[in-house]
Amino acid sequence: MARRTSLPVTFVVPTIAILLVLSMVPTLYAIVIALQNRELSTPDYSWVWLSNFVDLFLDRRFLNAVWVSVKWEIVTVVATMVVAIGLGVLMFEVASPRLRNIYCLLFIIPVLLPRVSAAFVWKFAYHPLYGIATYPYRLLTGGLIFDPLSKPATALFAVASVDVWQWGLFFAVIVLKLLETLPPQPIEAARLDHAKRWQIHAYVTLPMLKAPLISLMFVKMIESLRSFDLIYVMTRGGPGVATETLDMYAFSQGFIESGKVSYASAMAVLMMIATVITFTMLWKRVQA
């Protein structure tokens, strides 16, 4: 359809120009702020160049936040993929078409909820005395108290479970749809060779879906970076600093505790560099 028309230019140029302005201005400005020593309490500032970054690497709480963020990424991405593939394959194997449709609708609901809502729902559910999720434990142990959100060892997993509740179930629907698009012949062939059901999936169907599954994982890795809402509502980074991810720490440095906007911005800049480099490399590899 190579026709001479002004359409591509009039349609693309304004939009891309606006996107460029809207994204580059804050990005570049974040770097500028990171090189200064701005604070919320005063309008004065001076240039301190890289000293914010040097301070960061001497800040043990920052290093802890890096570690918590890495843990969060790994736990949520792995758990989401395991739940998604497990439930997707199960639906493909044992659910009738009508049941599949019902499950698909149900499994999409959690991901549509605002993260704030999901966080509240589970914060109530995890309440040690009155929560519905801790009730079975109270019942079985005769009233012992289990408070997953206030124990350093379990808090991160308790919050991560909400993330997996939202994304794992949603991705299960996608895995099912992917399985449904596969041609039936290889599965039939494997069945004739007396392969067991799990073997068919482990050696035939899932390897055939390798590329889309990797893309799915890529999407989840990006979405897992947005952990702030859940953590802010459920634990505020606590107990102590057990669930304090980078964005949570940047927020509390910039806004709650000290108003050190420049220091927070330096953290944000490091996050930005790390994610842009990592995801650009991963994306090129996925595409290749």
Partner 1 sequence: MRPGRLIGKAILALAGFLAVFPLLWTALNALKNNVDIITRVPRLVFTPTWANIGYILGRDSVLTGLYNSVVACGSAVLIGIVLGLPAAYAVARYPNRWAGDIQFFVLSLRFLPPVAVAIPLMVIWLQVGLYDTLPALIITYSLLTISVIMWLAIPAFQSVPKEIEEAAFVDGYGAYSVFWRIALPVAARSLAGAVAFSFVLVWNEFLIALMLSSSNAKTLPIVASELSQQGMNVPWGILNASVVLLSLPPLLFLGVLSGFLNSVFRQKKT
Closest approach of partner 1 to the CB of residue 134, in Å: 10
Closest approach of partner 1 to the CB of residue 98, in Å: 13
Q: Nearer Cβ to partner 1, position 142 or 153?
A: 142
d(CA 171, CA 148): 26
Closest approach of partner 1 to the CB of residue 240, in Å: 19
Q: Nearer Cβ to partner 1, position 153 or 183?
A: 183
Q: Nearer Cβ to partner 1, position 67 or 120?
A: 120
Q: Nearer Cβ to partner 1, position 78 or 113?
A: 113
Q: Nearer Cβ to partner 1, position 71 or 138?
A: 138
Closest approach of partner 1 to the CB of residue 272, in Å: 4
Burial class (CB in 10 A: 0-12, 13-18, 19+), 49: exposed
CA 61 to the chain's CA centroid:
22
Q: Nearer Cβ to partner 1, position 4 or 153?
A: 4
Closest approach of partner 1 to the CB of residue 139, in Å: 8
225: closest CA among 274, 155, 161, 281? 274
Closest approach of partner 1 to the CB of residue 192, in Å: 16
